[in-house]
Structure 1
């Protein structure tokens, strides 16, 4: 299994600037404005005016960077756009056409076709489906057409209108210009604040107390093996033919209402899984990690303090949160049909070479298929079924090698997938509740827990099973109802 190179790690970080919505929006908006005026790039006065234009529009830029408009809230984004067009009596068909044309080229052709072809081997005809997925997408990335388009349109129109004013191309007085912009910005900013305080009400409830429902004693298990099927929808897993996972479910405990966190982005979810707390505390709020490293203790820190070892085998993004000591980064640049097989092979090598007390393995093919081909198509379900076969083969190998003696096995997902390009982040249907099955000698058999739980319980539960202290900011209760203490 090829490791992720330093180049891939940095390339992943650079890609996230255009992938994550909060960074994409200002880059794209200002970029379209500059592209529209490319003939004036040689003029120093143009760049002076552009700087002033950006300063004038900072209230709009900051507001739309600060606030996502997920799911039903995205319809409010059309109000400032329509209001600007009416109030300023301004419309530029060429500028709007450039915005839409470049956006669709970036998302459908470059991202959905060329990028996925080079990275995971999708066909060069992927655009024939991908454009439909982009139009339906509801996640927090740049591929969210219904959020990014109204945001960028009102911004480029405002940027260009203020540029025309500064360069004397508009017959409008200074006081009129200033008053209009003050009113426009006030309505937009105050409206965004009110909408998010009054209507953004579907974030999961958070545990307020530190983990205190169980006292750590001696280890209950020799080892914990956790396999995360990245981006696996709970309902699609139920539809798939997965005999081995079904067997683990029957012989262990299943949590049917295991809730992920907000925003449900991969690095954010992994950070919550293995610190036991939320993004505001561990500091990882998207896949774009500007300030490297989690800000709280992780399960890996607690294992290290007691001379035990944990290892996370996953994609390069995860290094940004946990660091190279705890993460072995696998390359995500390979044929998607081969990726999970290579990951399992490397997981076997880690067990033979290091025999960690905690091994977390991230299977990525299901998630990548959801992103590139959609989560509601047959290819996605086939990848779940393929993951079941990989898990079966790996557990059988672990048993033969003696690694499953008094070992706890956890099969789960970090988040689900929404409709569209298989996006995730805003907790659309299909994202919020994830598969979670725990199996082992000390785990109750045939038990289904239907009460709501959260993935922040994973770190303290692993701590409890391995007999190590909880991470310092762990808030999730230990999943004691699954544990047979006798």
Structure 2
């Protein structure tokens, strides 16, 4: 049983759009290879605070990352810290805010795009800073890190769905077509990553409303998908709503490492706990 994990975060992908547009991911569900859940995001439903939620399992009032303008290093134990603490290797292909949370802040575009430093929480990183940086390039970056370094934990952060949601709103052909496009990217890369022995989770930070924005309390802002491809999870569609604070301890469970003391106890249906 593999403990290696790829965590794919699709920025701005709301739940109903994922359900209606992502044919490959639902093919995996129909064929008994994946599970799907609905996740209720934390508040505020903004990007930087929810990156911290996903990677540390802590709410904004506790971690202090309360807006997109909170530019400083995290004070919490992230999945990057925890993998290193447990002797595992990590890597990421991500938006630059991830670097600002866990490696160095502020981000310097001239020096910080490629970071290869075992002393940092993120050991291997390729970062981008333009929201329209193509998802096709991002996943090529991630695949390079996987092939070159074979990390135990790989975090991949895609931005194009969010970018098109802001440009065209959630109720637009542009937004729906971008969800189809990322599903095709996943269809081309996930089989290779499964063959390489990785478990895979796919989720989002927040959704998108019909004004082309997020940050509020509506289901459009907060409801996002969670797909899990792992022999530790029984395939199918689960109707229970999963709190977003469960994602970080889920990642720890799939990596077979102890979660931080700040994380919630894990209560995700369909998950088989690792034997100690």
The reply on whether 1:413 has 2:204 as its aligned counterpart is yes
The reply on whether 1:301 has 2:101 as its aligned counterpart is no
Who wins on radius of gyration, i.e. which is larger? 1
Match of 2:213 in 1: 423
Match of 1:358 in 2: 153
CA distance in 2, matches of 1:480, 1:452: 10
The reply on whether 1:462 has 2:251 as its aligned counterpart is yes
CA distance in 2, matches of 1:263, 1:449: 25
Equivalent pairs counted in the alignment come to 256
CA distance in 2, matches of 1:423, 1:481: 33
The reply on whether 1:253 has 2:48 as its aligned counterpart is no
The reply on whether 1:263 has 2:38 as its aligned counterpart is no
CA distance in 2, matches of 1:310, 1:283: 25
The two structures, once aligned, show a CA RMSD in angstroms of: 2.1
Query: Which one has the bigger helix percentage?
Result: 1
1:80-99 to structure 2, matched below 5 A, reads none
Match of 2:222 in 1: 432
CA distance in 2, matches of 1:348, 1:318: 18
Match of 1:103 in 2: none
Q: RCO (CA 8 Å, sep 6+): is it higher in 1 or 2?
A: 2
1:388 is aligned, of 165, 183, 206, to 183
Match of 2:3 in 1: 222
The gaps in structure 2 that reach 5 residues or longer are 105-119
After TM superposition, the score normalised by the length of structure 2 is: 0.85
Check the 8 A contact 2:253/2:274 in 1, yes or no: no
CA separation of 1:352 and 1:329: change in aligned 2, threshold 3 A: closer
CA distance in 2, matches of 1:469, 1:452: 24
Q: Tell me the CA shift for residue 463 of structure 1.
A: 1.2
CA distance in 1, matches of 2:192, 2:47: 28
CA distance in 2, matches of 1:459, 1:320: 19
CA separation of 1:284 and 1:367: change in aligned 2, threshold 3 A: same
Check the 8 A contact 2:13/2:204 in 1, yes or no: yes
Q: Tell me the CA shift for residue 293 of structure 1.
A: 1.4
Runs of 4+ in 1 over 6 A off after TM superposition: none
Q: Tell me the CA shift for residue 309 of structure 1.
A: 1.6
CA distance in 1, matches of 2:273, 2:262: 26
SS of 2:134 mapped into structure 1: helix
Match of 2:58 in 1: 277
Check the 8 A contact 1:249/1:439 in 2, yes or no: no
Match of 1:169 in 2: none
Question: Per-residue displacement from partner, 1:433-461 (whole Å, max 9, x unpaired)?
Answer: 11111112222122x32222211111111
Match of 1:339 in 2: 134
Query: Which one has the bigger strand percentage?
Result: 2
CA separation of 1:302 and 1:331: change in aligned 2, threshold 3 A: closer
SS of 1:349 mapped into structure 2: helix
Check the 8 A contact 2:40/2:224 in 1, yes or no: yes
After TM superposition, the score normalised by the length of structure 1 is: 0.50
SS of 1:330 mapped into structure 2: strand
Question: Per-residue displacement from partner, 1:421-480 (whole Å, max 9, x unpaired)?
Answer: x2111123411111111112222122x322222111111111122221112311252525
CA distance in 1, matches of 2:273, 2:249: 17
Q: Tell me the CA shift for residue 306 of structure 1.
A: 1.6
CA distance in 1, matches of 2:55, 2:129: 22
